[in-house]
A and B are shown apart, each in its own frame.
Chain A
Amino acid sequence: MDVFKSMDVIGSALSAERTRLEAIQSNVANANTVRGVDGGPYKRKDVVLQSVPLQNEFGEILDSKDNTHVEVEVADVVEDQSGGRPVYDPQHPDANAEGYVYFPNVNPVEEMANMISADRAFQTNVNVFQTTKQMALKALEIGR
């Protein structure tokens, strides 16, 4: 049924927005982490989204002529390669020869703005879902 295709599309969007929020969670949690996974300071993560035609659970495209239902998926989680924020602290164990420690390239204000954006996008998709459901239930009332 078509209404279920719509729900799959909305579900993919909800998953994508959740992944965005998860990246933001990592960024905020590691805003002051000077020892990242690969040695240097933590690098800000960003999510790259891409659209895909609706697929079934075996990864086959359901209907190549159907260009109304387009899902979104997380193509990649990339690391922001811009330099970290240097802080002069010679006492720090990770300070370099000049006495600077490199903190992550995470800007908490920017992360907050991105968080609100992801949250609003999630809410919007939930609203779309509710409208889709209400339309389906309203259509069922035709038979009553």
Chain B
Amino acid sequence: MSEIGIKGNGLTSMLERQLLGREMTAAKNAELKGAPSDQTSGSSGPSSASFLDSLKNAIETTNELQKNADTSAKNFAAGKGSLHETLIAMEKADISLRTITSIRGKLIDAYQEVMKMPV
């Protein structure tokens, strides 16, 4: 699946960076607007951290499935493994990538919605 430019940990770190970057800008913006900084750190307490964890988990799974699809395609090309197993691995990678993309889209939508909010 290297044609979509995902190699090794590329996908994980890319999405993580995007999300963390957004979180940081959000925190910075909130600080600039005079919101108390302990409130921002409070909002990223246990509940939001666990959400971030599960998100990271989902990204890891997606990345793992992408790598699996890659390996099984390579194995198939090398004459190992069966055709249907290769295609199933690819479908799994496809579905998980679509899922994570739509979650990302939703998160960014929500972020933009919040940023548009007049204070």
Contacts and interface: CB of A to CB of B under 8 A. Distances in A.
Interface of A: 1, 3-4, 7-8, 10-11, 14-15, 18, 129, 133, 136-137, 140, 143-144
Interface stretch (B28-36, B45-53, B82-90): B82-90
Given A140-B98, A143-B106, A15 B84 contact: yes
B102 A143 contact: yes
Contact of B88 (A1, A7, A18, A140): A7
Which of A8, A11, A15, A129 has the most chain B CB atoms closer than 10 A to its own CB? A11
B82 A140 contact: no
Contacts of A4: 65, 92, 95-96
B84 A140 contact: no
Interface residues of B, number: 15
A139 B26 CA distance: 31
A144 B99 CA distance: 12
A18 B82 contact: yes
Nearest to A130: B91
Given A4-B92, A133-B91, A143-B106, A11 B99 contact: no
13 contacts: A1-B96, A3-B95, A4-B95, A7-B88, A8-B88, A11-B85, A11-B88, A15-B85, A133-B91, A136-B95, A137-B95, A140-B102, A143-B106
A15 B105 CA distance: 37
Contacts of B98: 137, 140
